[in-house]
Structure 1
Amino acid sequence: MITFITSIVLLLLGYAFYAKFVERVFVINDGQTTPAYEKQDGLDYVPMSWWKGWFIQLLNIAGLGPIFGALAGALYGPVAFLWIVVGCIFAGAVHDYFSGMLSLRHGGAQFPALVARYLGNAVKSAVNVISLILMILVAAAFTAGPAQLLTQLTPLSFMTALIIVFAYFILAAVLPVNQVIGKIYPIFGVILVVMAVSIGVALLFGGKPIPELTVENLHPGELPIWPLLMVTISCGAISGFHSTQSPIVSRTLKKESEGRKVFYGAMIGEGVIALIWAAAGMTFFGGTAGLQEALAAGGPSGVVNEISVSLLGTFGGILAILGVIILPITTGDTALRSSRMILSDWMSSKFDMERKGMVLLMTVVVGVPTFYLSTIDYTFLWRYVGWSNQVVAAVMLWTAVSYLLREGKNHWIAGIPAMFMTGVVCTYIFYAPEGFGWAYNTSMIVGFTLTAVVAALYIRSIFRYKNIASNDKSERTAS
């Protein structure tokens, strides 16, 4: 229990202190007109209150990630607490803050546009493909999942339920952000928060000991923590998918100082939710072995339902059902909206087309493969989502590093987590079964060799920008 409570306190302290430090490094300017006003169009660029932005951002980035991912990560033992806290404060929240604030600073720019500005068009091309595939897969999975559950709970056939869910996705993708998302997300957000807080309180007063983080109890399993844990628990610590969602909210903020509350704050909120469900998984089933059996028997949705009903009774069962249906929907719809926005921005620079026509056309372009994938078994593709998701996270962090280097600011706040995540993805792709499936030691050697190459490029960039700054200073002094 001490580890659990301490972890939550550390996350809150991270927001109270480190978030403000990151904000001071970025240097906000509330006198600058935000894209919500500068480009106001009644569709994507719409001024909204920051608290609505917080709920939208939380649901955009969360879905079932901090629940299902945290339960899977809990199989690694109490070390999951450590990764959620450290990853969330120093990597995930920093990642989300810069993805949102750089978008805000550059007119509501999408993630690929930011990559092109700071890392070059070659990287942008690869990121465009990866991020679009990632979002389409997420939208497809979060169409099929709720549809399957609706089929179990109602007389609806799977295809009928699928069409209903997807019809909502289309509406959420093409209607003004304040008409659907801005109105219903705060309600859904309250359900998510109440569900997590209720489970957390029940854990604290339920009488079962919550596992502590000790040397003996750090990692009871056999699978290596590095790099598997960092890919298993992504949404609760750091997830590249978030960088594709932040521009939705960056186009609605009224001033730059709201960014810390919305982008950094929503990630801290997600970290707290992930901590609660990781603790619930380890505690309710008497350890990682019991949790593994429960996951094998009923899957993550069955585990969520069993925990919720047992700890909270009928109320918990209702929350569990609502959560497992609503949460994936609130990520799937914005995944489709984000992919539409990225394609619309890219195509509008190439074709002169009416705004409404572009929106509808791009929605169809991304909607067709999304709907098709939701009707077939594409699990062979889904296996690659974890790795590609963290590749996107590393790229976003390197984008932030490039920005900070150019501005002569403290680049280490993004550089250290960027190096860490580079090491994760470089090692994972060689070790994982969906990758090369090499021996662990071989994967470590190759992965860290590649990471060392990236580190050398990083150091070279540091000296290059120092020389540029020094030359600029000399020229100013001479003049």
Structure 2
Amino acid sequence: MQSITIVLLGIAGMLLGWFVYSKFIAARIFKLDDSFTTPAHELQDGKDYVPTNKVVLWGHHFTSVAGAAPIVGPAIAVYWGWVPAVLWVVLGTILFAGVHDMGALWASVRHKGKSMGALSESVIGKRSRALFMIVVFLVLLMVNAVFGVVIANSFVSQPTAVFPAWTAIAVALIIGQLLKRNFALIPLCMVGILVLYASVYAGSYIPLSLPESMFGLADTANWIIILFIYAAIASLLPVWMLLQPRDFINGMQLLVGLFLLYGAVFFAMPDITAPAFNTQTAMDTPSIIPLLFVTIACGAVSGFHGIVSSGTSSKQLNKETDVRFVGYLGAVGEGSLALITIVAVSGVALAASPQEWHEIYSHLGAGSVDAFITGGANLIQQGWGLPVEFSSTILAVMVVLFAGTTMDSGVRLQRYIIQEWGEIYNIKALKKGLVATFVAVGSCLLLAFGAGGASGSGGMIIWPLFGSTNQILASLTLLVVSVMLIKMKRPARYTLIPMLFVLVMAFFAGLIKLKEYWLAENYLLVFLDAIVLVVSVLVMLEAWSVIARFRRSESN
């Protein structure tokens, strides 16, 4: 089959979701209202609560939720075959991710920009808040610790990406200052994109790297420390100064990347060499059900999106009707990235024949980011004639910048959670932004170096938990939104059905992993996995109790 068929059908489905389904959900279920005063206006402080143009906010939201996950997950899951991967990405984007992201954003806006953890107390009850926030903190800890390692490894393996990655930060700071002085957005961003791609070209000729050993640590470990120092500073700056312009430029950069990749498919029309359904999997390959639905999270549905929606995006929403543009369209953008990733790692751009493809994908976990960069660069070369080396740098920078923006937002969100704990338990020190940031970064570095030693790769130890934990968080977010809709006497099936599906798949995946960790005698993962599973059950029981009480009061 030609890859263009997959692309046309996938994009058609997502456009149908955007133009039809999202309009229905926005108008009939969430009933978005421009007369509602959003937290960005009600609590405006010039730092975290800032009314923001919906296009700029979409850029922040999109790049914060995207990260490397919509590339990594699909690039791994294609091992089971491209058909199940494509179906889950497309249907998940339309029916799951878009509704989930819109719902989390809307619910938070309706509750003064509270995070989903704090929001669960208002909607379900006090006990659910403490349980919910444990899962949220674990997900943020995993994302921040691991993305620091991912970026550091990319800097070491792709030194040509270092210069453009840091140049993007400098450009964003300048644009943030100019936007504050009412310079026009579009011209500034066009200049910013040109400078970014000029730095990508320059980076191809000026690779930068740290010494292999410095201060008694390897180059990767030193990069991790530098990245967390940067993330700590970035998380304390007002959102208009760095976060918004950086994320918007990265969003525009992604659109350019998607244009190059999708355009290459239309020009080159490469064939698919990967199997539709892989019947030659290794003996130890786990079942596609439920593992497919936790391997591809971002790009189909992801609990981390709910953290971003209710953590930073809800505090910047100018009008409530912008929920649809920021939330649902953000999910469509991520789904389109996941879809083109599947094409890039499934066709002749990566492997000239089915046999060669099976050699690359010899087991579950093979391929991943390297396969995307290799396949994507070859695809761009075939379609546009750009040199493979330059195309590889473009895609490597795209991955690094995405991971970087997710890390920026992740540390800020972790700081919010810690400050909320300070408010809940009346711990004055934790209420302070500087202290909360220090605790957030300190916990990530403690995991990175405490569990991983001098390499700083400790986050990788608990990363296997991310898939099931992240999807359980998505189901809990949908649960909070569903209970809120039920209390408002609105139809809740559009959130309840996705919630039940994701919960069942994630819960069984968690049980499968629990057995694996136990047999491997990895008792840290056994302990953490068990906590997540027990917490999810307790929150569900709490929610069911609230719904039952509400139904009884309605009938009396």
TM-score of the alignment, normalized to the shorter chain, above 0.5: yes
Identify which range, 389-398 or 324-333, moves more after superposition. 324-333
- What's the counterpart of residue 35 of structure 1? 39
- For the 8 Å contact 1:419–1:455, the answer to whether it is kept is no
Q: Could you tell me how far 1:408 is from its partner in structure 2?
A: 0.9
**3-state SS in 1 of match to 2:299:** coil
- What's the counterpart of residue 155 of structure 2? 150
Does structure 1 residue 411 correspond to structure 2 residue 492?
A: yes
Aligned-residue sequence identity (percent) comes to 27
User: Cα gap change, 1:8/1:289 in structure 2, threshold over 3 Å: closer, same or farther?
Assistant: farther
- What's the counterpart of residue 229 of structure 1? 292
Q: Could you tell me how far 1:470 is from its partner in structure 2?
A: 4.4
- What's the counterpart of residue 248 of structure 2? 186
- What's the counterpart of residue 15 of structure 1? 18
Does structure 1 residue 325 correspond to structure 2 residue 400?
A: yes
Does structure 1 residue 71 correspond to structure 2 residue 75?
A: yes
TM-score, normalised relative to structure 1: 0.87
1:380 to 461, 480, 483: 461
Q: Could you tell me how far 1:406 is from its partner in structure 2?
A: 0.7
In 2: Cα distance, 1:3 partner to 1:435 partner: 37
Letter in 2 for 1:49: N
**3-state SS in 1 of match to 2:317:** coil
- What's the counterpart of residue 93 of structure 1? 98
1:365 to 436, 439, 452: 439
- What's the counterpart of residue 124 of structure 1? 129
Identify which range, 43-52 or 302-311, moves more after superposition. 302-311
Does structure 1 residue 348 correspond to structure 2 residue 423?
A: yes
Does structure 1 residue 395 correspond to structure 2 residue 476?
A: yes
Letter in 1 for 2:504: G
- What's the counterpart of residue 447 of structure 1? none
Identify which range, 158-167 or 400-409, moves more after superposition. 158-167
**For 1:417-463, what per-residue CA distance to the aligned partner results, in whole angstroms no more than 9, with x for missing partners?**
1110121022212223645679xxxxxxxxxxxx9999999999777
Does structure 1 residue 253 correspond to structure 2 residue 312?
A: no
> What is the aligned-residue RMSD (CA, Å)?
2.9
Q: What number of residue pairs does the alignment pair up?
A: 455
- What's the counterpart of residue 554 of structure 2? 469
Q: Could you tell me how far 1:218 is from its partner in structure 2?
A: 4.3
Identify which range, 231-240 or 159-168, moves more after superposition. 159-168
Letter in 1 for 2:134: V
- For the 8 Å contact 1:66–1:270, the answer to whether it is kept is yes
- What's the counterpart of residue 442 of structure 1? none
In 1: Cα distance, 2:367 partner to 2:427 partner: 49
- What's the counterpart of residue 285 of structure 1? 351
Letter in 2 for 1:311: L
Does structure 1 residue 265 correspond to structure 2 residue 329?
A: yes
In 2: Cα distance, 1:323 partner to 1:288 partner: 28
**For 1:98-131, what per-residue CA distance to the aligned partner results, in whole angstroms no more than 9, with x for missing partners?**
1111111100001101222223222322221121
In 1: Cα distance, 2:357 partner to 2:538 partner: 40
Identify which range, 42-51 or 278-287, moves more after superposition. 278-287
In 2: Cα distance, 1:52 partner to 1:97 partner: 17
**3-state SS in 1 of match to 2:44:** coil
Identify which range, 309-318 or 330-339, moves more after superposition. 309-318
- For the 8 Å contact 2:76–2:367, the answer to whether it is kept is no
In 2: Cα distance, 1:197 partner to 1:4 partner: 13
Identify which range, 143-152 or 93-102, moves more after superposition. 143-152
- What's the counterpart of residue 193 of structure 2? none
User: Cα gap change, 1:46/1:460 in structure 2, threshold over 3 Å: closer, same or farther?
Assistant: closer
In 2: Cα distance, 1:123 partner to 1:435 partner: 27
- What's the counterpart of residue 425 of structure 1? 506
2:371 to 303, 316, 327: 303
- For the 8 Å contact 2:68–2:402, the answer to whether it is kept is yes
- What's the counterpart of residue 179 of structure 2? none
- What's the counterpart of residue 444 of structure 1? none
In 2: Cα distance, 1:193 partner to 1:272 partner: 10
Letter in 1 for 2:436: M
2:276 to 202, 212, 217: 217
Structure 1 residues without counterparts, runs of 5 or longer: 439-450, 472-479
